[in-house]
Amino acid sequence: MALDGARGARDEESREKKKKKKRRKKEEEEEGEEEEEGAEAGGSPSAATMGDGDAGGRGLAGARPRGTERPSAVHGRLVLAFAVCIVALLAVTALAVLLSLRFDGCGPGAPGGAPGLPARGGNASLPGPARRDPQAGGEASTPGAPAARPPSDAERERERERGPEREPEREHPWTHLRLPGHLKPLHYNLMLTAFMDNFTFSGEVNVEIACTNRTRYVVLHASRVAVDKVQLAEDRAAGAVPVAGFFLYPQTQVLVVVLNRSLDAHRNYNLKVVYSALIENELLGFFRSSYVLHGERRFLGVTQFSPTHARKAFPCFDEPIYKATFKISIKHQATYLSLSNMPVETSVFEEDGWVTDHFSQTPLMSTYYLAWAICNFTYRETTTKSGVAVRLYARPDAIRRGSGDYALHITKRLIEFYEDYFKVPYSLPKLDLLAVPKHPYAAMENWGLSIFVEQRILLDPSVSSISYLLDVTMVIVHEICHQWFGDLVTPVWWEDVWLKEGFAHYFEFVGTDYLYPGWNMEKQRFLTDVLHEVMLLDGLASSHPVSQEVLQATDIDRVFDWIAYKKGAALIRMLANFMGHSVFQRGLQDYLTIHKYGNAARNDLWNTLSEALKRNGKFVNIQEVMDQWTLQMGYPVITILGNLTAENRIIITQQHFIYDISAKTKALQLQNNSYLWQIPLTIVVGNRSHVSSEAIIWVSNKSEHHRITLDKGSWLLGNINQTGYFRVNYDLRNWRLLIDQLIRNHQVLSVSNRAGLIDDAFSLARAGYLPQHIPLEIIRYLSEEKDFLPWHAASRALYPLDKLLDRMEKYNVFNEYILKQVAKTYIKLGWPKNNFNGSLVQASYQHEELRREVIMLACSFGNKHCHQQASTLISDWISSNRNRIPLNVRDIVYCTGVSLLDEDVWEFIWMKFHSSTAVSEKKILLEALTCSDDRNLLNRLLNLSLNSEVVLDQDAIDVIIHVARNPHGRDLAWKFFRDKWKILNTRYGEALFMNSKLISGVTEFLNTEGELKELKNFMKTYDGVAAASFLRAVETVEANVRWKALYQDELFQWLGKALRH
Measured distance CA(573)–CA(515) in Å, rounded: 19
Measured distance CA(141)–CA(125) in Å, rounded: 17
Q: Contact 558/494 with Cβ under 8 angstroms?
A: no
Measured distance CA(747)–CA(785) in Å, rounded: 9
* Cα Rg of the chain (Å, integer): 36
What are the residues whose beta carbons fall under 8 Å from the beta carbon of 519, sequence distance 6 or more? 512, 513, 525, 845, 846
Q: Contact 61/36 with Cβ under 8 angstroms?
A: yes
Give the helix, strand, coil percentages of the chain, each rounded to 5: 50, 20, 35
In 30-121, which ranges are continuous DSSP H helix? 36-41, 45-49, 71-101
Phi and psi dihedrals of 206, rounded to 5? -115, 115
Measured distance CA(214)–CA(199) in Å, rounded: 40
Which strand ranges, in their side-by-side order, compose the sheet holding 131-132? 131-132, 139-141, 226-233, 267-278, 200-211, 183-195, 325-333, 354-359, 344-349
Question: Is 479 known to be catalytic?
Answer: yes
* Sign of torsion over alpha carbons 297, 303, 307, 308: positive
Q: Contact 618/631 with Cβ under 8 angstroms?
A: no
CA dihedral 530, 536, 538, 541 (to 10 degrees): -170
Residue type, 1: M
Nearest to 435 by CA among 463, 396, 471: 396
Strand, coil or helix: what is 291?
A: strand
* Sign of torsion over alpha carbons 773, 775, 776, 780: positive
Measured distance CA(198)–CA(277) in Å, rounded: 11
Strand, coil or helix: what is 69?
A: coil
Burial environment of residue 295 by CB neighbours within 10 A (0 to 12, 13 to 18, 19 or more): exposed
Residue type, 161: E
Catalytic one of 27, 319, 479, 522: 479
CA dihedral 33, 36, 39, 43 (to 10 degrees): 150
Phi and psi dihedrals of 695, rounded to 5? -120, 155
Strand, coil or helix: what is 194?
A: strand
Phi and psi dihedrals of 327, rounded to 5? -125, 115
Q: Contact 782/825 with Cβ under 8 angstroms?
A: yes
Measured distance CA(713)–CA(396) in Å, rounded: 67
Measured distance CA(109)–CA(117) in Å, rounded: 9
Measured distance CA(657)–CA(363) in Å, rounded: 45
Question: If you write DSSP's letter for every residue of 968-997 in order, what string do you get?
Answer: TTHHHHHHHHHHTHHHHHHHHTTSTTHHHH
What element of type H or E holds 327?
Answer: strand 325-333
Residue type, 227: V
Strand, coil or helix: what is 203?
A: strand
What are the residues whose beta carbons fall under 8 Å from the beta carbon of 514, sequence distance 6 or more? 413, 414, 417
Measured distance CA(958)–CA(963) in Å, rounded: 9
CA neighbours closer than 13 Å in the CB half-sphere of residue 283? 26
CA dihedral 13, 14, 15, 21 (to 10 degrees): 110
Q: Which residues are catalytic?
A: 479
